[in-house]
């Protein structure tokens, strides 16, 4: 006899006993017996067992992340993503054997474009394109993204205008939670907040004063970019503008700050879609003529992809 625990239609566990030997001797409908007592095939060799993290072993964040793969449901997908990111970070060109040179080309000669010195091949890493939307920078996840750029774990950042300006605004004044209970902040009425000069981003609140501080901070930089354009005759690009923002902000909590210090480009195709666009609009009346050339960045980011020996693209999509 076998005893099994089964959930009924109300989700309650009940004990059901089966006597596999007696089933064939009693009047159990064949269709029921076939459905309930069908023999199982052997699981494929190497099948992973479901097992979660055991906190009796202490708190080990690396082991916790590894356990997600065998936890099941969406935790498994998260665990697989962790493994993929680790492969991105670990890969070196020296992991692969250098291919033979094309016919007629001598290995190591000036005509040979392949890197063959093992030490030099070990320096070539995955080109990692990190993409994120502005809400991740409005929220506390900004600090995680800053860490990645601070420690050179990505090759470039692709974000929205809000992602750039929210990072810089936080250096000038803080954002606030709409409610200490968190969820309640989502229910705050935007029209009522607007009358108070407060903006809502999800359950986060940003006073209008923060945007005024940002305008005061950004306008002198736009004047400088205009001076440089008039002197050189060349236009700037969104990534170059953001580079100068990171150069100007003196705050190590900033993503733009570390992008500038570590020479990591930040690409923002929609640079005008936010407060920065408003500032450019206002500035065009004070000093018309500033040109921000998006094509320069299209060429720059495409060239990064073309020149990369291997690429990775984690994102919050």
| Dihedral Cα 187, 191, 197, 199, nearest 10 deg | 50
Residue 95, both tokens: 């992991």
From CA 137, how far away is CA 201, in angstroms rounded? 11
In 3D space, the residue among 270, 148, 138 whose CA is nearest the CA of residue 206 turns out to be 138
Contact 156, 264 (CB under 8 A): yes
pTM of the model: 0.83
Beta-strand pair 127-131/13-18 = unpaired
pLDDT score for 26: 60
Q: Which residue has the tokens 């697989």?
A: 80
Q: How far apart are CA 276 and CA 162, in angstroms?
A: 8
How high is the pLDDT of residue 7?
A: 53
Give the integer Cα–Cα distance in Å for 208 and 198.
6
Cα distances (Å, whole numbers) of residue 129 to 63, 87, 94, 137, 149: 26, 14, 21, 17, 11
Q: Residue 125 carries which DSSP code?
A: B
pLDDT, residue 317, reads 47
Write the DSSP symbol of residue 214.
Answer: H
Q: Are strands 2-7 and 13-18 parallel, antiparallel or unpaired?
A: antiparallel
Say if CB 256 and CB 156 are below 8 A apart: no
pLDDT at position 45 = 93
Q: What is the pLDDT along the chain (317 residues), one digit of tens a residue?
A: 445 555 554 455 444 444 454 444 567 787 877 778 778 889 999 999 999 999 999 999 999 999 999 999 999 999 999 999 999 999 999 999 999 988 888 888 888 889 999 999 999 999 999 999 999 999 999 999 999 999 999 999 999 999 999 999 999 999 999 887 756 888 899 899 999 999 999 999 999 999 999 999 999 999 999 999 999 999 999 999 999 999 999 999 999 999 999 999 999 999 999 999 999 999 999 999 999 999 999 999 999 999 999 999 876 54
pLDDT at res. 2: 47
Task: Return the pLDDT at 22.
Answer: 46
Q: Which single residue is written with the structure tokens 């065998």? A: 70
User: So what's the pLDDT on residue 40?
Assistant: 85
pLDDT at 185: 83
DSSP 232: H
pLDDT value at position 4? 52
Extract the runs of DSSP E, i.e. beta strands, from 190-310.
Answer: 198-201, 204-207, 266-267
In this predicted structure, what is the pLDDT of residue 179?
82
């Amino acid at each position: 006899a076998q005893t099994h625990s089964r959930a009924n239609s109300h989700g309650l566990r009940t004990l059901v006993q089966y006597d596999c030997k007696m089933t064939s001797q009693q009047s159990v409908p064949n269709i029921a017996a076939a459905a309930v007592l069908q023999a199982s095939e052997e699981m494929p060799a190497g099948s992973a067992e479901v097992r979660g993290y055991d906190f009796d072993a202490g708190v080990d964040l690396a082991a916790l992340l590894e356990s997600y793969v065998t936890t099941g449901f969406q935790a498994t997908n998260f665990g697989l993503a962790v493994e993929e990111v680790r492969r991105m970070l670990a890969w070196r060109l020296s992991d692969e054997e250098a291919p033979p040179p094309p016919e007629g080309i001598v290995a190591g000669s000036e005509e040979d474009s392949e890197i063959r010195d093992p030490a030099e091949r070990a320096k070539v890493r995955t080109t990692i394109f990190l993409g994120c939307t502005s809400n991740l920078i409005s929220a506390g996840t900004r600090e995680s993204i800053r860490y990645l750029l601070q420690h050179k774990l990505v090759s470039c950042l692709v974000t929205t205008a809000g992602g750039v300006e929210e990072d810089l605004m936080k250096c000038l004044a803080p954002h606030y939670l709409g409610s200490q209970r968190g969820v309640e902040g989502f229910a705050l009425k935007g029209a009522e907040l607007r009358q108070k000069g407060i903006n809502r981003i999800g359950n986060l609140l940003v006073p209008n004063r923060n945007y005024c501080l940002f305008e005061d901070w950004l306008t002198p930089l736009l004047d400088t970019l205009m001076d440089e354009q008039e002197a050189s005759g060349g236009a700037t690009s969104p990534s170059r503008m953001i580079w100068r923002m990171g150069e100007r902000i003196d705050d190590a909590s900033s993503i733009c700050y570390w992008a500038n210090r570590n020479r990591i480009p930040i690409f923002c195709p929609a640079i005008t879609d936010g407060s920065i666009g408003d500032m450019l609009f206002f500035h065009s009346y004070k000093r018309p003529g500033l040109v921000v050339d998006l094509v320069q960045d299209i060429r720059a980011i495409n060239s990064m992809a073309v020149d990369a020996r291997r690429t990775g693209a984690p994102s919050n999509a």
